[in-house]
Amino acid sequence: MNLEILQVPDCPNVQLLEDRVAAALAGERIAVTITHRVVNTAEEAEELRMTGSPTLLVDGQDPFGERGLSAGLSCRLYPGEDGRFHGAPSVEALRAALQRQVTGEVVLAGLIAWRGGAQPAGPTERAVHRAILRGFAETGSPPRADQLAEFATGAPIAAVLDSLQESDVIRLDDMGRISSAYPFSGIPTAHRVTIDGGVAAYAMCAVDALGISAMLGGRHVGIASVDPRTGDPIAVTVRGPEATAVPDSTAVFLGVHTGEDPSADTCCTLLNFFTDSESARKWADQNPHVTGLVIDLATATQCGTAIFGSLLAD
């Protein structure tokens, strides 16, 4: 874990922050690297997202960031459990932030392994699966079974589709028709995607939406979504492994229900965009039954790329 302290020259509260970080790490099995970066100009503070000195970044993110904090060189104060403000977060707050990050790394790795591990059972299933994904990308809708029969190499297409559902790479409705093929959804969701400014489709979740561009070889993908807590609109543009968003503070909450059920039932509705980390954390606080973590847009895009990027590769 990388801890970076952003500070102005001779900041009097840096030593306090260092001491409290050391106390928070005492007895914890967390391997960290601590670095300092001295910030001299307001432009640097804006670029590095230093909202006062000192600012602590945990793997590039400020776990104590709040809406309304502006980048700058002024002294930063942190609310304490005693109701007063201090020059650094409390030991308890730091320990909780570091433990959340460790938990988040485990959850993120588990999600990539779980979702990425869902693969077609054999070459016939793989050929049909790819045809389904291409059909979604070309039309925005799932292909019919009769349109896929030619890719089944003589096998009954219904049996191939059942196998794909068993492998948790597609879902079928009660009539045996394709309702989704991760990352695409055949029914409207909160995440509408547009491919190269033309074909419109829906993604199963935020991470799935972010992985579509990489899966399609880096084609331009626009995503229109909303913050589920506030209803505020969010617009994301993706090209391969790179994404930008409006607002630029956009974050993603990765929520999961553990178990052996399909991804559509255990996590897809819980992986959403939020206008910022604060909104995502407030949503999580309001939904304590959901296990998950808040990640930035770049990390979420890396996750989507890792899961879906190779699905259509030759």
Q: What is the pLDDT of residues 22-46, one digit of tens each?
A: 999 998 888 899 999 999 999 999 9
pLDDT of residue 230: 97
314 CB burial (10 A radius; 0-12, 13-18, 19+): exposed
271 is written with which tokens? 């992986």
Mean pLDDT check: name the lowest of 4-18, 45-59, 111-125, 248-262. 248-262
| DSSP symbol at 76 | P
For range 54-67, the mean pLDDT: 88
What is the spatial distance between Cα 9 and Cα 118, in angstroms, rounded to a whole number?
A: 51
Provide the mean pLDDT of the chain: 91
Domain boundaries, the chain: 2-105, 118-181, 185-309
Q: For residue 95, which amino acid is it?
A: R
Whether 126 and 158 have beta carbons less than 8 Å apart is answered as no
Fold of 118-181: Arc Repressor Mutant, subunit A (1.10.10)
User: CB under 8 Å to 47, separation ≥6 — which residues?
Assistant: none
Selection from 105, 299, 75, 305 nearest residue 208 by Cα: 305
pTM beyond 0.85: no
pLDDT at 113 over 90: no
Strand partners, 225: 234
CA 142 to chain centre: 25
Q: What is the pLDDT of residues 76-103, one digit of tens each?
A: 999 999 999 999 999 999 998 888 777 6
Q: For residue 134, which amino acid is it?
A: R
| Matching residue, tokens 């070309």 | 138
pLDDT at 177 over 90: yes
pLDDT at 220 over 80: yes
Q: What is the 3-state secondary structure (H, E, C) of 234-286?
A: EEEEEECCEEEEECCCCEEEEEECCCCCCHHHHCHHHEEEECCHHHHHHHHHH
Fold of 185-309: Beta-Lactamase (3.30.450)
pLDDT at 263 over 90: no
pLDDT of residue 259: 46
